[in-house]
Amino acid sequence: MRFDTVVRGGNVVTPRGTSVADVGISGEKIAAIGPDLEASPATKLIDATGHHVIPGVLDVHVHLELPFCGTVSADDYRTGTRAGARGGVTTLIDFAIPYANDSLAQAADNWMAKAEGKALIDYTFHICITRYNEHRDQIKGMVDRGFTTFKEFMIYESEGWQSDDRALFGTLEKMKEYGTMLLVHAESSRVLDELIARHHTPELMKQYGARLHRMTRPNFIESEAIQRVVTWSEVTGGQLYIVHMSTAEGTEIVKAAQKRGVPVLAETCAQYLVLDDSVFDRDDGHLFACCPQLKKPADSERLWQGLKGGEVSVISTDTCTFNRDQKAMWEGDWTKIPMGMPGLETLMPVTYTHGVLKNRISLDEMVMKLCTNPAKIMGLYPRKGAIEVGADADIAIFHPNTTMKVECATMETNADWSPFQGWDLAGFARTTLSRGEVIVDDYAVVGKEGRGQWLPRTSAGLKG
């Protein structure tokens, strides 16, 4: 067999096991995996000796150029996808959100336009249902157009995004009917609003500053909402995916529900695994405001266990970059902090360094949570998510121990700060291939913007 490229002699992680092997690539696809693959004079050879060779990472929770909290998130499809590629990410899924009177189709068109000509890696969108009465009859059309995952928010009334129980229940019924999946941001809006109102006084803001973010979002804000929407999934049979789960209590609820056979899956994000809410004691603590907020070390520990145990299926980032000048909009009032942080570039390095190198999860388990599970759950497998013959040749190659310091000035993200600033992390991609093309070489982005493709889908969830 003739190969355009052979990745030579790396420690290759495949669904059938991990071993030293070559990966042969023809066109955009993986054509062979095995020892000593034959190369012609025209074959490009990539030496992976002493390196891990894993499938390209899928970050299935990303917000690029998102209008939110009175500003627009600072990584767009150019900087965001370049950042991802440097961290071994070859596929991302963003959220297409309808603004003003937009239909679901218009929201998708708007997000297509953001990505067009800029994306370096492949992408698709979860379609957000923000006005259930109008949007419910548009869901089927979006499924026919190749979108199989939908999203509802249980908070963000002021953004015009909030869904009530009737909408969640009705949308889950439709998910059951179409074999599609509903992603839910689960937080309890009314009680959250009440806690915020009780604390929103000049005296308390002066005394506690950004610590009020932690004080107004106790764990039950998330767990009550997860419990409620899990009930709607249980009674409708509609597939449910809890996004950015941050609490031990939420993890327990998901585990118990899965045991009962409820079709619920959960993701967490890298920041919930390695950071905790003590950051709000820092002088720049307001930078770390995100939603849901960071929790306690015990929550992180339970989430790691959930990854190991299986109740947490995916690690993503919820990338929603706001720079220091945007975060400064808070002026001492924590309710005005744009919520979100950068993450695409550091997803794999943080997971590898703090998960695999600290023996919390194995390399194979990392690949499952960053690549194979997200691809399967989001309807992109077997095209994405595994090093297998016939799959897209999306590959990340990294050295097991070479570390780099997180320093925004030298990174691809448009962020001027990082939650992991100054951390030494292994797991940055030395080489990233996307559909057979080298887009990161020797840690530098070499791929051209606009080469990324939209990925149509026909299924979602483990039952899709």
User: Applying CB under 6 A, which residues contact ligand URP?
Assistant: 63, 185, 290-291, 318, 320, 339-340
β-pairing, 57-62 vs 89-96, is parallel
Q: How far is the CB of 125 from Zn ion (least distance, A)?
A: 12
Closest CB to ligand URP among residues 22, 65? 65
For residue 25, count other CB atoms closer than 10 A to its CB: 25
Q: Choose the contact partner of 167 out of Zn ion, ligand URP, none; CB within 5 to 8 A by kind.
A: none
Q: Residue 119 or residue 242: which is nearer to Zn ion going by CB?
A: 242
Ranges assigned E (strand) in 143-283: 149-153, 181-185, 239-242, 264-269
Stretches 43-51, 140-148, 195-203, 317-325: which one binds Zn ion (CB under 5 A)? 317-325
Closest distance to Zn ion from the beta carbon of 62 (Å):
8
Lookup: tokens for 263? 């079709």
Count interface residues toward Zn ion (CB under 5 A).
Answer: 2
Is 130:100 a contact under the CB 8 Å cutoff? no
CB of 338 to Zn ion, least distance (A): 13
Nearer to ligand URP, 338 or 379 (CB): 338
Which residue stretch of 156-164, 275-283, 313-321, 342-350 sits at the interface with Zn ion (rule: CB under 5 A)? 313-321
Q: How far is the CB of 63 from ligand URP (least distance, A)?
A: 5
Tell me which of ligand URP, Zn ion, none is bound by residue 327, counting a contact when its beta carbon lies within the kind-specific cut-off of 5 to 8 angstroms. none
Please tell me the number of Cα atoms within 13 Å of 404 on its side-chain side.
20
| Nearest distance, CB of residue 291 and Zn ion, angstroms | 6
Secondary structure of residue 377 in the 3-state scheme: helix
CA distances from 177 to 242, 394, 464 (A): 20, 33, 11
Cβ-defined contacts of 331-336 (< 8 Å, 24+): 332/205, 332/206, 332/209, 333/200, 333/205, 334/205, 334/209, 334/210, 334/212, 334/213, 334/216, 334/286, 334/289, 335/196, 335/200, 336/69, 336/70
Asked whether the beta carbons of 378 and 149 are under 8 A apart, the reply is: yes
The item of Zn ion, ligand URP, none sharing an interface with residue 221, based on CB under 5 to 8 Å by kind, is none
* Residue 339 partner contact from ligand URP, Zn ion, none using kind-dependent CB cut-offs of 5 to 8 Å: ligand URP
Q: What is the DSSP letter of 143?
A: H
Nearer to ligand URP, 290 or 455 (CB): 290
Binds Zn ion (CB under 5 A): choice among 75, 267, 318, 392: 318
**Which residue, 291 or 367, has its beta carbon nearer to ligand URP?**
291
CB of 455 to ligand URP, least distance (A): 21
Look at residues 20, 52, 54 and name the one whose alpha carbon lies nearest to residue 36.
20
Residue 415, contacted partner among ligand URP, Zn ion, none, CB below 5-8 A by kind: none
Given the rule CB under 5 A, which of 32-40, 110-118, 181-189, 219-227 is the region that contacts Zn ion?
Answer: 181-189
Task: Please state the closest distance from residue 442 (CB atom) to ligand URP, in A.
Answer: 33
Of ligand URP, Zn ion, none, which one sits near residue 340, judging by CB under 5 to 8 A according to partner kind?
A: ligand URP
Q: CA 95 to CA 89: how far, in whole Å?
A: 17
Q: Residue 341 in contact with residue 271, Cβ under 8 Å? A: yes
Nearer to ligand URP by C-beta: 185 or 286?
185
Task: Compute the least distance from the CB of residue 432 to ligand URP, in Å.
Answer: 25
Nearest to 83, CA basis, from 442, 412, 436: 412
What residues from 93 to 152 belong to the interface with Zn ion (CB under 5 A)? Answer: none
Instruction: Enumerate the β-bridge partners of residue 126.
Output: 95
Beta-carbon-side half-sphere exposure of residue 171 (alpha carbons within 13 Å): 32
Q: Of Zn ion, ligand URP, none, which one does residue 62 interact with (CB within 5 to 8 Å by kind)?
A: none
Kindly report the number of other CB atoms within 10 A of residue 362's CB atom: 14
By beta-carbon proximity to ligand URP, the closer residue of 21 and 184 is: 184
CB of 65 to ligand URP, least distance (A): 12
Omega of the bond prior to 292 within 30 degrees of 0, cis?
yes
Q: Which of 86, 185, 327, 376 binds Zn ion (CB under 5 A)?
A: 185
Q: CB of residue 360 vs ligand URP: minimum separation in angstroms?
A: 23
Residue nearest to Zn ion (CB): 185
Peptide bond before residue 382 is cis, with ω within 30 degrees of 0:
yes
Residues that bind Zn ion (CB under 5 A): 185, 318
